Amino acid sequence: YCNFAELMVSVDRDEGTATVTFARPKSLNALCESMMTELNRAFKMLDADDSVRAIVLTGDNVSFAAGADIKEMAKQTYPEALRVNFLAHWTDAFKISKPVIAAVRGHALGGGCEVAMMCDIIYASTDARFAQPEVRLGTIPGAGGTQRLVRAVGKSRAMELCLTGDVLTANEACSLGLVSKVFQPDEVLGAAQKLARKIASQSAPVVKLIKEAVNASQEMSLEAGLAYERRLFHSTFSLDDQKEGMAAFIEKRPAKFTNQ
């Protein structure tokens, strides 16, 4: 996994976790095409690696990511954006079955906030700052800012944030439900990795089914989502891990999950 120029990928096979770190500190981890292509490749590799069960995505102390790379984007044209379906591969990178936890320190602006929202869980440090400042650049959020932010914090607040570019502090983001927990800056990465280990210790197929079911709630009506959830629930009764988990409860011992 060391074959990346703008990302660091480390895998802890014993714990079943991986950490992917944006590594363009000179531009505050601005999300350029080449780094996002690498992220896509790294996530696909980690998703295919049975020894990895949960992934942490992080930046550095100063910045998770300060947005799409404005210097690269400034020269973009409409025909070219249409031709390559500009930014579509960002979303594709996150179409993986294993949970991704964002550990956000510092800036999570524009595309940086949108990438954090593509993750399954966001942990933030007290100095994390979230915003959709595209309006100030004469454009609009292009990777979920007008869609996922609405689902995360509600329409009125999302509309206000997108129309102003105003910044949310970590505590505000937490009280709105965008972020799940807030930590001291030197603790957030460790906390996210600890969470990844906890998830990695659960049944691998059950973790995948839960991620799929929760994400389906964003796409489906309640009636369809409940029916889908019930069918996935039924399917767990075909797993060794369901037999083991329930037997362990009855026998008052820790469960040992084995399904891959």
Instruction: List contacts with ligand HXC (CB under 6 A).
Output: 27-28, 30, 66-71, 87, 107, 109-111, 114, 133-134, 137, 141-143
DSSP 89-145: HHHHHT--SS-EEEEE-SEEETHHHHHHHHSSEEEEETT-EEE-GGGGGTS---SST
- Active-site hit among 68, 103, 124, 143: 68
- Catalytic-residue membership of 42: no
Residue 92 Cβ vs ligand HXC, minimum distance, rounded to whole Å: 14
Question: 99 or 141: whose CB is closer to ligand HXC?
Answer: 141
- Give the Cα separation of 112 and 134 in Å (integer): 11
126: which 2 tokens? 């007290």
Instruction: Give the active site residue among 124, 134, 142, 229.
Output: 134
Q: Which residue matches tokens 């797993």?
A: 239
Q: Closer to ligand HXC at the Cβ: 137 or 216?
A: 137
Concatenating the DSSP letter of every residue in 148-171 gives HHHHHH-HHHHHHHHHH-PPEEHH
Element (H, E) at 215: helix 204-216
What is the smallest separation between the CB atom of 109 and ligand HXC, expressed in angstroms? 4
Q: Are 41 and 79 in contact (CB under 8 A)?
A: no
- Which token pair is 140? 């609009």
Q: Is residue 114 annotated as a catalytic residue, yes or no? A: yes
Q: Among residues 67 and 205, whose Cβ is nearest to ligand HXC?
A: 67
- Min dist CB 225 to ligand HXC, Å, is 28
- The question of whether 229 is a catalytic residue gets the answer no
Catalytic position from the list 18, 103, 114, 200: 114
Residue 128 beta carbon to ligand HXC: minimum distance, rounded to whole angstroms: 12
Active-site residue identified among 111, 112, 144, 145: 111
For residues 27 and 67, give the distance between their C-alpha atoms in angstroms, rounded to a whole number: 10
The residue among 59 and 67 lying less far from ligand HXC, judged by its C-beta, is 67
187 catalytically annotated: no
Catalytic residues: 68, 111, 114, 134
